[in-house]
Amino acid sequence: MPVAREWIETHAAQIAAVAERETEALVAVSSPSGDAAAAEQIVAVASALAPAGARIERLPCSTPEHAPDLLISVDGPGELKVLLVGHLDTVIAHDAFFPPRRSGDHLVGPGTADMKGGVALALGALRALEGRPELGEAALLLVNDEEWRSGPFVHTARFADFDACLCFEAGERTDSGDDAVVVRRKAAGTLKLTARGRAAHSGSAPEQGVSALLALAEAAQLVASLSDPQGPDRLTAVPTILRSGDAINIVPASGDLLCDLRADSLAALEAIEAAIPNQIGGASIELESQRAWPGMDAREQAAPLLAAASELLGRPIVASERGGASDASHFAAAIEITIDGLGPCGEHSHHPDEQIELNSLFPRSEVVLALLDALLIGVSR
């Protein structure tokens, strides 16, 4: 067996042998985004799974009042600097949490696919990189606010001189069963609309009121009508949360509407804001862009690496794209080779039936290690 292939197979087997238990340990801690105490618990678990000789650092989180993010690093005598990226927070609240359980060849539990299974593989990859003479630094950044970030992402500049970024969101396969990785993602934004009308008694004088609820309902229809997923920008505009009204017998005087916007570029999202009038049905409309995630397109830059890794692995690694946002997008603007979707295969993210396929742990570990080995070999040439 060639040396490169032997390194991949040996370490993939080691990663897969413990990834199930490590994923289970991570999932067993309920860590909804925004709970600082829960974040400290999951950080403690992830730190305990770090390589023995790794440096452990805590970095300020992008979102105020969140627990500091976790950085685990190993050094080597070489030149390659690679960043591994994941997140420890989930969207499942404590009252909906349940312990992880096995169901056939699946591990079911909140955050299994998004993305504690990916974190387990990233920790394994970090251990595998120890001792490689081509390595200069391997850093694993695990953030605590990916699922609901309210501030600008703060970590890009620190890693701008790294050679590659690998992000461990859930993996996928093509229809023909080939392993796929994500090299293109949409830009994403959250748009908040606030309506201000006038209260009135809904029984005796409803005509004296100006309904913020009806204004927002009309605004929601307008936003939805602008969605054009098959258009040139692949724009999706989806109203997701509407809150208005304080009592059953009062015309609602105020309310909020949240909309999820996705497109190939942030500029396309700005067109949605421009199309919303500042008054609807007599109610004033105020707009607030709550978060904006850039798009990612590393198809051209990643192609040579995918080809080299496919040759090392002896089977194809296929470039794919995804509409969901990821921290990989923030790094793609600064780190030329950025690849995502390196976690185990799974489904039902953000859902009570979220799960990963346990039989995907070994092949997905092979994919990660083939990419890393191709990077290391490339640096040594």
Q: pLDDT band at 323, cuts 50/70/90?
A: confident
Express each pLDDT in 29-53 by its tens digit.
999 999 999 999 999 999 999 999 8
Express each pLDDT in 201-221 by its tens digit.
999 999 999 999 999 999 999
Determine the pLDDT at residue 381: 47
pTM of this structure: 0.89
> End-to-end alpha-carbon separation of the chain, Å?
21
228, amino acid identity? D
Which of the following CATH numbers is that of domain 3-186+295-380: 1.20.120.1760, 3.20.20.70, 3.40.630.10, 3.10.450.50?
3.40.630.10
Lowest mean pLDDT across 47-51, 266-270, 328-332, 344-348? 266-270
Record the tokens describing residue 132, joined without a space. Answer: 């490689």
Determine the pLDDT at residue 138: 98
Determine the pLDDT at residue 350: 86
Nearest of 131, 255, 264, 248 to residue 189 by alpha carbon: 264
- DSSP code, position 116: I
> CATH classification of 191-292 is 3.40.718.10, yes or no?
no
Query: How does the average pLDDT of the chain come out, rounded?
Result: 95
Do 127 and 7 meet the contact criterion of CB atoms below 8 Å apart?
Answer: no
Q: How far apart are CA 216 and CA 220, in angstroms?
A: 6
Residue located via tokens 């970090």 = 126
Q: How far apart are CA 69 and CA 62, in angstroms?
A: 9
Provide the residue ranges of all domains of the chain, joining segments of one domain with +: 3-186+295-380, 191-292
